Amino acid sequence: MEETAGERCEPEIAQEKVEVLEKKNEETVELPSSNDSAIDHEINNLTDELGPNLNLAEHEEEIYWQTAEWKSKKHVFVLSSAGKPIYSRHGNEDDLVALFGVMQAIVSVVLDSDDELQSIHTSNTHFTFLRKGNIYLVSVSSIPLETAPITKLQLTYVYNQILSILTLTQLTRIFDQYNNFDLRRLLSGSERLINNLVDFTETDPAFFFNAVECLPLASSARDVVIQAITSSCQKIKNLLFAILLAGNQLVVLIRMKKYNLLPSDLHLILNLVSSSQSFRTAEGWTPICLPDFDASGYMQAHVSYLTEECQTCLLLLTIDRELFFTLSEAKQKIVEKLQKSNVFEQINESIQKPKILASEFGISRLRHFVYKNKNTNQFVYPKYEVPYLLPESQNSLLHLYSQLYQQVNSSQRPLKVIFQQLKTEAVLGWDTKGFELYLIFEPFVTKSEAINAVNKLLKCMKKEEDRLFISNSATF
């Protein structure tokens, strides 16, 4: 579009245009009038800020948001519908307010024509937009591997994290009352939760598979934990969930009858625990909104680590704000009961034990696999082995899995079975009623070898099922 405008203009004007492209924040240039010209102009503005071409203005010294390093980073921005900054993954929002204004202008120009901007792609940069009420989210990435559905999901997670802190009710009320509100006033101190969650959505397979991992444990030991929790909480009304975590792995999940937790909400709980060091030293009592359970309001979470010796984190989620002391007492009872058994040792043993390896199943040419139980949304993700020891190769494996997962779970054209021989690996995905299975092989594996591998792996999984997964039936 720029070229055609230049050609039609007088030579001096074309000259001026070149100059304008080199200067920033001064792009006030005559262009043929059309509705699109404003959009083009703003897009140029945005790519200037974030695009791959280093475009230093002559009068400005090295500013961090104009460096090549900044442009190569993956960015997440959150802004209000007024164009006010709410969050930037990198840098300081105050330095970037002009950029936030540009983003709002681009989104709103499209909105004004009763349409909705989804994404913008340039040769090197991908912009993805998500609008949720008064909250706009933007992802900017130069990674060609990024796929739109995953990026949208990542932005949805960021939005859900904000809801988890504020609730939809509060967020809606604030912007209904004050559409110029600076939401950072309410989110200050919570940035680390968003930062941590964005990292999670880039590196943790749990995000890509919409599932959680369980701590491998003999089912008898798990039953002891469940028994200890249910018997200690028996008389407590309004207790919705009890969750025991070992790192990012689920030890047990007990729920009130009729209610269930989705992986997306569980991920927010995992994020809260992993971002907060304070729970290690003191009991926490914190409001938390789980958007997929109920975005309108808060639950109250009692959060504590069980003992010094056993670093597992217990969360008791209730709808009753007055329940702190009751739950604190219940936690003591749970610990006492568990100390009488040898469950803590068993849990510690499992925590210290190296994660399951794909190679330990003795299946030739199998490099890695994922087994997901669809009824419980729990999955097994073996430890990385050769050739996935470097972070880059782990990233591309994750990307491969996420593509496979999307092909199997595509809303338009879901596939039951998929086998592909790619440049560096062969992949197989299989979707059944009860589980999904994804296998990564060496590239020259044959179809029949792959099918044999599936059968062999399924047998092993069946045998280990009780230890690897938690049946979701435990209720108060």
Partner 1 sequence: MATKKKGLLKVIILGDTGVGKTSLMNQFVNRKFSGQYKATIGADFLTKEIMVDDRVVTMQIWDTAGQERFQSLGVAFYRGADCCVLVFDVTLPNTFKSLDSWRDEFLVQACPRDPENFPFVVLGNKIDLGNAAVPSKRAERWCQSKNNIPYFETSAKDATNVEQAFQAIAKNALAQESEQDLYNEFPDQIKLTGDSNRFNNNDAGCSC
Query: Site residues for partner 1, window 215-254 (CB under 8 A)?
Result: 238, 240
Rounded Cα–Cα distance for residues 253 and 257 (Å): 12
Closer residue to partner 1, CB minimum distance, 273 or 323: 323
Residues 115-154 that bind partner 1 (CB under 8 A): none
Rounded Cα–Cα distance for residues 380 and 370 (Å): 6
Q: Is 383 in the site for partner 1 (CB under 8 A)?
A: no
Q: How far is the CB of 172 from partner 1 (least distance, A)?
A: 11
Q: Which of 10, 58, 62, 112 is close enough to bind partner 1 by CB under 8 A?
A: 112
- Whole-number Cα distances in Å, 364 to 426, 427, 453, 462: 13, 14, 8, 19
Question: Which one, of 295, 344, 281, 289, lies nearest residue 317 by Cα?
Answer: 289
- Tokens standing for 278? 């304070």
Q: Is 297 in the site for partner 1 (CB under 8 A)?
A: yes
Instruction: Say whether 158 sits in a helix, a strand or coil.
Output: helix
Instruction: Say whether 317 sits in a helix, a strand or coil.
Output: strand
Residues 268-287 that bind partner 1 (CB under 8 A): 287
- Tokens standing for 175? 């912007």
Closer residue to partner 1, CB minimum distance, 31 or 327: 31
Q: Is 81 in the site for partner 1 (CB under 8 A)?
A: yes
Residues 429-458 that bind partner 1 (CB under 8 A): 433-434
Q: What is the DSSP letter of 90?
A: S
Q: Is 42 in the site for partner 1 (CB under 8 A)?
A: yes
Beta partners for residue 78, in sequence order: 87, 137
Closer residue to partner 1, CB minimum distance, 49 or 425: 49
Question: Which one, of 394, 416, 366, lies nearest residue 145 by Cα?
Answer: 394
Burial of 293 (0-12, 13-18, 19+ CB in 10 A): middle
- Tokens standing for 282? 């003191």
Q: Which of 64, 259, 325, 444 is close enough to bind partner 1 by CB under 8 A?
A: 259
Q: Which of 9, 14, 21, 105 is close enough to bind partner 1 by CB under 8 A?
A: 105
Q: Is 294 in the site for partner 1 (CB under 8 A)?
A: yes
Q: Which of 22, 30, 329, 385 is close enough to bind partner 1 by CB under 8 A?
A: 30
Q: Which of 15, 25, 231, 410 is close enough to bind partner 1 by CB under 8 A?
A: 25
Closer residue to partner 1, CB minimum distance, 319 or 356: 319
Closer residue to partner 1, CB minimum distance, 123 or 188: 188
